[in-house]
Amino acid sequence: MARAAGGRFLLRIDDLDQTRSRPDWEALILEDLRWLDVTWDGPIRRQSEHFDDYRRAIETLAAQGAVYPCHCTRADIAGAASAPQEGVPAFGPDGRIYPGTCRARPYAGRTATDALRLDLTKTTGGPMPTFTETGPAHTGLHKVTAEHLLTHVGDPVIARPGMAASYHFAVLLDDAETGVTHVVRGEDLYEATFLQCLLQQQLGLPPVTYHHHALIRDEAGKRLAKRDDARAISKYRADGASPEDIRRMVGVA
C-alpha cells in the first residue's frame, strides 16, 4: 500500500518493556520481514531510544491537569469495577475498564510504583476528533465521542511503573515524529483508535488515516497471539507456507 501510493514504509521496534525485549526476537522479526519481501525505508526506529520524548509529552498532559497516578492492581480494579451495564463491555482496548478509583490523586503525589492514567473526564469536554478508516470492516469517517470512551475504554494507562510510556501513548509520538500519514495494522487494534485519536488531539499531533486488516486465526476462529504460544511466521515458513499464503491469511494478497 505504501509503495502503490508513492510513500515510504517505516520499521519501528516496539521495545518499551525492556524486560521482555531480546535481540534474538528482533532478529527474527527482521528475518520474517525479509522472507515476506517487506523492505523498509531509512533507519529502524527503536522506542527504547526515545524515552525522554515520551516523558516530556506526559509532562505536557500533566500540566493540563489530565494525568493522575494510580496504585491499583489488576485485582483491585476487578474488585472495584461495578457490574457493567447491559451491552457495555467489561474490557476495552486498555484491558478491564478502569472505574476511576485513583482519579482524585494529585499528579504531584506520584511514586515510582504508580502507573499514570489519562483522566478522560478532563479531556472529553471539548470538541471531539474524527478519523478516517479504509479497512474493509469499518470503512468511512468515524466520530470519537466522550460517551464511547468513558464506557468502552475508561481512563487508560499512559505510563507503567518502570516504563517510560504505554503502547497506546508511545506510538502516537513515534508516528508524528517520523511523519506517518497512514497506519496499517491488525483488526484487534481498531477499538484503540478512538483513544489514540483523542490523545493525538490533546497533544496537538497531526491526525492519520487508519486501515485495519484481518487477523490470522486458528481452526476455531481464535486469533493467534504470542501469549497463547501461537505459531510464529517462521513456523508457517518451516511448514512450507509461502509469503503469498501469509498475505492471503490477512486479506492483503
Q: What is the pLDDT along the chain (253 residues), one digit of tens a residue?
A: 899 999 999 999 999 988 777 888 889 889 999 999 999 999 999 999 999 999 999 999 999 999 999 999 988 888 876 655 555 678 889 888 998 999 999 999 999 999 999 999 999 999 999 999 999 999 999 999 999 999 999 999 999 998 999 999 999 999 999 999 999 999 999 999 999 999 999 999 999 999 999 887 766 767 766 555 456 788 888 889 999 998 888 777 6
Q: Looking at residue 85, what is its pLDDT?
A: 58
The whole-angstrom separation of Cα 47 and Cα 51 is 7
Domain-wise residue ranges, the chain: 1-49, 52-213, 216-253
Q: Looking at residue 83, what is its pLDDT?
A: 57
Q: Count of H helices and E strands in the chain?
A: 9, 11
Write down the pTM of the prediction: 0.85
Sheet of 130-133: strand order equals 140-143, 130-133, 209-213, 182-186
Give the cell for residue 232.
510464529
* Cβ-based burial of 51 (10 A; exposed 0-12, middle 13-18, buried ≥19): middle
CATH 3.40.50.360 at 52-213, yes or no: no
* Cβ-based burial of 104 (10 A; exposed 0-12, middle 13-18, buried ≥19): exposed
The torsion region of residue 142 among left (phi > 0), alpha (psi -120 to 50) and beta comes to beta
> Is residue 176 within 8 Å of 204, Cβ to Cβ?
no
Q: Looking at residue 147, what is its pLDDT?
A: 94
Give the cell for residue 249.
491469511
Q: Looking at residue 233, what is its pLDDT?
A: 81
